[in-house]
Amino acid sequence: MKKRFYVLCAFVLLPFLAEAQLIAKAPDGDYQKGIWPFRINRFDNSGRFHGRWKVLGLDDKTVIRKGRFRHGSERGTWRYYYPSGKLFMVEKYKRRLDHILVKRYHENGALAKVGQAKIEDTSDKTRYFWFGTWEVYDEQGNFSHNEYYENGQQVLNQ
For the domain that residue 91 is a member of, what is the CATH number? Answer: 2.20.110
Count the domains in the chain: 1
Q: What angle do CA 67, 131, 111 make, to 5 degrees?
A: 60
Report the distance separating Cα 155 and Cα 134, nearest Å. 11
Specify if 99 maps to a domain.
yes
Specify if 51 maps to a domain.
yes
- The string of DSSP letters for 54-121 reads EEE-TTSSSEEEEEEEETTEEEEEEEEE-TTS-EEEEEEE-TT-SSEEEEEE-TTS-EEEEEEEEEEE
**Residue 37: band (very low, low, confident or very high) from pLDDT cuts 50, 70, 90:** low
- Domain encompassing residue 121: 42-157
Specify if 30 maps to a domain.
no
Q: What's the whole-number average pLDDT of the chain?
A: 81
Burial of 105 from C-beta contacts in 10 A (0-12 / 13-18 / 19+): buried
**Residue 157: band (very low, low, confident or very high) from pLDDT cuts 50, 70, 90:** confident
Specify if 22 maps to a domain.
no
Specify if 78 maps to a domain.
yes
